[in-house]
Structure formats: C-alpha cells, structure tokens
Amino acid sequence: MLIVKKFGGSSVANKERIFNVARRCIEDYKKGHDVVVVLSAMGKTTDELLAKAKEINPNASKREMDMLLTTGEQVSVAMMAMAMQAMDVPAISLNAFQVKMNSSSRHGNARFKRIDSERITNELEARKIVIVTGFQGINKHEDYTTLGRGGSDTTAVALAAALHADKCEIYTDVDGVFTADPRIVPNARKLDEITYDEMLELATSGAKVLHNRSVEMAKKYGVQMVVRSSLNETEGTVVKEVVKMEKMLITGVASDKNTARISVIGVKDKPGTAFKIFHRLAKNNINIDIILQSVGREGTKDISFTVSQDDLQDALRVLEENKESLTIQEIKHNAKVAKVAIVGAGMMSNPGVASQMFEALYNYGININMISTSEIRITVLIDEKDVDRATLAIHEKFALGDV
C-alpha cells in the first residue's frame, strides 16, 4: 500500500513532535507500506518569515516572498529525514525542484499543473521514506511559487493523485472536522464523514482545517482523504464523495473574519456597469465573494460586495483609480464585518433552513448585512463583533453539538 501522510506545522513544531511524527511514519513503513510524507513549516515559521520580510520591505515582490517562504518547508523536511535516519530508517527529503512539482506562475497563489512521479517512485523502490516539502511549486521560469496559506494539504492531495496512493492522511492538532470551531463552540461534535462538496463549502467559508483547493483536487481525482490528529490515535474524519445518510440537516457552521465589504455608490443603472467594475477587479486578481445590488433610483444604483481583508487596499486603489470610467460617485468600505455560513447537503430538500438560521440570529439581536446562498450553503455577512455569538446561536439552533 502507498500512503501519503501530511503533517501540519503544529505537528512538527519541536524536537519531540518531529520524533513523534517520525515514529508514526516508521510504523507504516515497517508494516511494508510505501510512505510519502508531506510537511508544513515548523510551528509558526511561515508567520515569522512574513513578519521579518515586512520589516525589511513591506512591499516586497511576490517572487522574493516565495523565495523566502519556501525555506520554512525545506527546514522541516530535512529535520524529519535526519530524525528518521537517527532511528536507523532510510529516509530522504525532496523539495519541489527535486520532485518536479510544476505549477502556474502566480506567486503566492500558484496551482499545480504537472507532477513527476519518477524521482519519488525510484526512492520508494529503494525502500526509503520520502519526505516532500508542502506548499511549494516551481513555475515555467524555474522560480519557486507557493500555493497560498495552508497549501501543504494541496501538495499532499496532488501527490496522492499523481502517485495513485491508496490513502491520503492529513494530520493536524485537532481530532478531525468538527460541526464548528471547538474553540468557539465547546460542544462542537467531530464528524465521522463529510462529502467533498460540504467540505469544500466549509473550507471556503473559513473552516481552517483543510485548504479549500485540496478538497477541490481530491474531488476531481477521487482521492479519499482522512483528517486526523497527530497527537492521538482517534479515527478522524473521512472526506469522500458519498456519505452514509445522516439525519442531520446541517453538517457544520463556519465563520471568517478575514472579510471586508466595499460599496460603490451611485453608479449608472445601465447594461455593462457591473461587468466593467468586476472585470477591473478580476484583472487585478481580486476575488469577489458576496455581491448585492440595490434597486435603481434616478438612473443610478449601488453595488456592494465582499473581498478578503488582504485584498481590501488593492481593491480600493483599483476602484479609486478607475472611479470616473466606472461611473462611481462614492466608494465606502467596512473591514469590521465577518461571514458566518451553514453547510449541509440536507438543506437541498428541506425548505425553511434559511428561516431557522435567521431566527437564531434574530433571537440574539444580530443584524444581517448581506446574504448569499448555494444549493448546500447559506452565508450571512454580519458585524465582526457578533461572529462568535452568531456561530454559537446557529450551532445551538440546529442542535449540532454533543448532548
């Protein structure tokens, strides 16, 4: 059996944890399995590197940022190989160049294009444990790229797909995927299983447990993933296409504070206005989330939308620079907003889920700014200060927790 095992930063944060991970990998190796390990940078390394870069140059180029950030993963894979060798197990660390993990060119948010399996396969045939850097790729200019924060999950799934692995295990510091963030909702319940679609909606709505693109890729290539703890032997949560019928209407609640709202006021109420605004933003690589357009008045209308807080300044600059051509009279923004979403395949066939969610918020006096829905998700935009209370209220309303 070929197993891909991915460990997050907290799972390799120090010497003891590195040896703990080494032991878990060696267990599988000694059973005769082929083991490929994907690692994140140790502990808070990536955050620290970001902070250091900011001290030197707050507008550092994205190429150099990737050059810097990829060092974090390189440290952890080398350390892990050393730990395994210290335990007399043959192991080798490889980076994106050595494996040849080709990605798109976009620094800081690259996507994998093609992954060579040859080098890894050869090392596995030589009965080594192969330890690969997560989070990084190489582009056509032979420069390092990174996949976006949390991207090591996507490295693991991409390798599992390329190597036709039998298992893809994502190890973290929690026991699996929960009905809500247990730090916010103490009685949140661990899920045994979740569908790709639900997991994708949760990850995109702010659940940090998996990188959303890893779920997208797992679905595309049919890679079954399991999310579990590196600190205990608990079973974890399986992410797959179909799950056994659960009676739950809602699978989970997620929230995201990394959101800001922008309103463009008094734009011309005629064909092409929305196209031009969002085309400008897209050209500048700014992702738009919820969009709300007001009913027109006297030939003008207002459009509000959300962007991630990281993109807020860029978005405001682009709009300001094109204010006239986009017929904008005024630009407003609010960074103190947050999204709360409920996700569940069960809501497709059950009317009234939205009203139940809104009732929960009403009962707690929480005002809704914007609403957006998909077949299996309802998202509301609310004041940032209300987000934890809202999560608790909704979780309670749908009785998602352990009793």
Considering only residues 144 to 203 of the shown chain, the ones binding Mg ion according to CB under 5 A are 150
Q: Which does 135 bind (CB under 5 to 8 A by kind): Mg ion, ligand ASP, none?
A: ligand ASP
397 closest CA partner among 335, 342, 328: 342
Of the candidate spans 6-14, 119-127, 253-261, 360-368, the one that interacts with Mg ion by CB under 5 A turns out to be 6-14
Angle of helix 212-221 relative to helix 152-162, nearest 10 degrees, comes to 10
Q: How many residues bind Mg ion (CB under 5 A)?
A: 2
What's the closest the beta carbon of residue 148 comes to ligand ASP, in angstroms? Answer: 7
Of the two residues 139 and 172, which places its CB atom closer to ligand ASP in the complex? 172
Of the two residues 65 and 185, which places its CB atom closer to ligand ASP in the complex? 65
What's the closest the beta carbon of residue 161 comes to Mg ion, in angstroms? Answer: 19
Of the two residues 150 and 344, which places its CB atom closer to ligand ASP in the complex? 150
Q: Which does 41 bind (CB under 5 to 8 A by kind): Mg ion, ligand ASP, none?
A: ligand ASP
Q: Three-state DSSP class for 304? A: strand
Of the two residues 209 and 286, which places its CB atom closer to ligand ASP in the complex? 209
CA distance 79 to 188: 35
Please give the C-alpha separations between residue 318 and each of 205, 266, 283, 287, in angstroms, as whole numbers: 25, 17, 10, 13
Of the two residues 8 and 137, which places its CB atom closer to Mg ion in the complex? 8
Amino acid letter, residue 397: K
| Contact letters for Mg ion, residues 124-153 (x by CB under 5 A) | --------------------------x---
CA distance 315 to 307: 8
Q: Which does 7 bind (CB under 5 to 8 A by kind): ligand ASP, Mg ion, none?
A: none
Of the two residues 123 and 216, which places its CB atom closer to Mg ion in the complex? 216
Provide Rg for the chain, Cα atoms. Answer: 23
What tokens does 383 get? 């004041």
Region of residue 399 (left: phi > 0; alpha: psi -120 to 50; beta: else): left
Q: Which does 72 bind (CB under 5 to 8 A by kind): ligand ASP, Mg ion, none?
A: ligand ASP
What's the closest the beta carbon of residue 134 comes to Mg ion, in angstroms? Answer: 9
Structural contact between residues 367 and 382, judged by C-beta atoms closer than 8 angstroms: yes
Strand segments (E) across 269-388: 291-293, 300-308, 330-343, 370-374, 377-383
Of the two residues 150 and 236, which places its CB atom closer to ligand ASP in the complex? 150
What's the closest the beta carbon of residue 275 comes to ligand ASP, in angstroms? Answer: 34
What's the closest the beta carbon of residue 386 comes to ligand ASP, in angstroms? Answer: 28
What's the closest the beta carbon of residue 278 comes to ligand ASP, in angstroms? Answer: 28
Angle at 267 between CA 261 and CA 269, to 5 degrees: 120
Handedness of CA 321, 326, 332, 338 (dihedral sign): negative
Residues of the shown chain interacting with ligand ASP in the complex, contacts defined by CB under 6 A: 8-9, 40-41, 46, 72, 134-135, 149-152
CA distance 102 to 118: 14
Handedness of CA 131, 160, 195, 357 (dihedral sign): positive
Q: Which residues of 237-248 are buried (b: 16+ CB within 10 A; e: fewer)?
A: bbbbeebeeeeb
What's the closest the beta carbon of residue 78 comes to ligand ASP, in angstroms? Answer: 15
What's the closest the beta carbon of residue 40 comes to ligand ASP, in angstroms? Answer: 3
Q: Which does 43 bind (CB under 5 to 8 A by kind): ligand ASP, Mg ion, none?
A: none
What tokens does 330 get? 């005024």
Of the two residues 46 and 251, which places its CB atom closer to ligand ASP in the complex? 46
Q: Three-state DSSP class for 197? A: helix
Residues near Mg ion (CB under 5 A) are 8, 150
